[in-house]
Amino acid sequence: MTGREIDNLIKLLARLPGLGPRSARRAVLQMLKKPETLMMPLAQALEETARAMTNCSICGNVDVTDPCHICASHNRQRDMICVVEEVQDLWALERGSSFKGLYHVLGGTLSPLDGIGPEDLRIDQLVSRVKDTRASEVILATNLTVDGQTTAHYITERLLETGVKVTRLAHGVPVGGELDYLDDGTLTAALRARS
Amino acid sequence: MTGREIDNLIKLLARLPGLGPRSARRAVLQMLKKPETLMMPLAQALEETARAMTNCSICGNVDVTDPCHICASHNRQRDMICVVEEVQDLWALERGSSFKGLYHVLGGTLSPLDGIGPEDLRIDQLVSRVKDTRASEVILATNLTVDGQTTAHYITERLLETGVKVTRLAHGVPVGGELDYLDDGTLTAALRARS
């Protein structure tokens, strides 16, 4: 309808979550008006990120460097590890900016019904990491869903042998909720009142 | 928060209409999971479009070729010219796919309050084009807003000297509405019942 190349661009954009065909068209129109200030920089940012993106071999975070910028930082408390299900949970906690330790991204939750067992998550790596780095505290920040809590239980058991202090986010996170949807204040409060 | 490069990408995406910081983050996360099938193709489509995009010297449409794919097509009725305000109106009519003629994009409407006069729109080009190509009909498809109707009036006067038949979209387009928001059926009906 709108030229093959532009049609293709609209179709690709419409595949992003939160964008449908109509909003993709509006986005493309907007970009066509600002090719130099928006379209080109966006193309370059996408290409660079797609080419350089990698998973941090220490914590599982997604970044363009390995180790990621958090694991590589000198301003973090390196003996605290906060365990999250997914990268978006890490991002949510970082937005709250009240946690200054390191992270460990599991890559999901235990889910027997979906056939996801401990070997599918980065749990062995967590146990080794806690031993190797002599971490003083592991904060379990899995979601307060059934699967998230099952996973937290399992990890607590697995970490028993290491003797590390294992804490959880305080009740303050609404039950059944997901970290990525919480406001920063609630996340900060839940971190402070961890038990 | 999420690494400088990824942060930059999120900020650029958040500038698109319809996307805020939260949906931009979700979009980036989605793309980071599919770098090869979504992120790279999108980067390439954006770059190619940004590099090749141009305004058709005949009709003012945006495309990667000049003349645009509509003006260059052999399957269009070349003596009918549909005059629209903006490129998105052209796209809307193309989606209805009931119009098989050519287009002329004005680039806006007359708006004395904003200091937009006839010389700021592609009206002189329209008059010359009608004369040069001996068009048999000009359909004025400006929006049914005050500015759109003023512009249609003005163009009708200007086209008097050419003797071309000037028609307008039928009343069927809701008054005060914008073409880009209409469903295809209404657009088709309005085209058929043009007067």
> Nearest CA to CA, how far is B103 from chain A (Å)?
12
The pLDDT of residue A195 is above 80? no
Contact state of B12 with A45 under an 8 Å Cβ cutoff: yes
Q: State pLDDT tens for residues A48-105.
A: 999 989 999 999 999 999 999 999 999 999 999 999 999 999 998 988 888 999 999 9
Lowest mean pLDDT among A141-150, B106-115, B146-155: A141-150
Residue A137 pairs in a beta bridge with A80, A165
Q: Which residue of B has its CA nearest to A63?
A: B3
Q: Which two tokens stand for residue B41?
A: 């193709």
Chain B residues with CB-CB distance to A95 below 8 A: 1
Give the gap in angstroms from C-alpha A1 to the nearest C-alpha of chain B. Answer: 6
Cβ-Cβ contacts under 8 Å, B5 against chain A: 45, 48-49, 52, 63-64
Q: Which of A17, A29, A41 sits opposite B88 (nearest CB)?
A: A29
Interval B6-18: pLDDT, tens: 999 999 999 998 8
Q: Over 60: is that where the pLDDT of B1 sits? A: no
The ipTM assigned to this model is: 0.78
Q: Which residue has the higher pLDDT, A10 or A186?
A: A10
Q: Which of B26, B42, B91 sits opposite A46 (nearest CB)?
A: B42
Distance of CA A163 to the CA centre of its chain: 26
Question: What's the pLDDT at A1?
Answer: 55
CA distance A127 to A107: 15
Residues of chain B contacting residue A36, judged by C-beta atoms under 8 Å apart: 50
Contact, B144 vs B176, CB < 8 A?
yes
CA-CA distances (angstroms) from residue A39 to A28, A132, B28, B108, B179? Answer: 9, 46, 16, 22, 25
Q: Give the span between the Cα atoms of B177 and A14, in whole angstroms.
A: 25
Chain A, nearest residue to B98 by Cα: A1
Predicted confidence (pLDDT) at residue B77 exceeds the cutoff of 80? yes
Q: Which of A57-66, A164-173, B148-157, B172-181 has the lowest mean pLDDT?
A: B172-181
Cα–Cα distance measured from residue A142 to residue A126, given in angstroms and rounded to the nearest whole number: 14
| pLDDT mean over B44-57 | 91
Contact B31 A9 (CB under 8 A): no
Contact criterion met (CB < 8 Å) for B42 and A91? no
Q: What pLDDT is recorded for position A34?
A: 83
Per-residue pLDDT reduced to its tens digit, A140-151: 999 878 899 899
Asked whether the beta carbons of residue A15 and residue B1 sit closer than 8 angstroms, the reply is no
Q: Indicate the residue of A26, A42, A65 with minimum beta-carbon distance to B12.
A: A42
Domains of chain B: 4-52 (1.10.8.420), 62-192 (3.40.1360.10)
Per-residue pLDDT at B129 exceeds 90: yes
For the ranges A38-42, B1-5, B62-66, B111-115, the lowest mean pLDDT is seen at: B1-5
Q: Structure tokens of B73?
A: 């097509």
Burial of B131 (0-12, 13-18, 19+ CB in 10 A): middle
Per CB-CB distance under 8 Å, the chain A contacts of B99 are: none
Q: Is the pLDDT of residue A183 over 90?
A: no
User: Å from B163 to nearest chain A CA?
Assistant: 31
Percentage, residues of chain B above pLDDT 90: 62
- Which of A49, A61, A76, A87 would you mutate first to test chain B, the one with the most B CBs within 10 A? A49
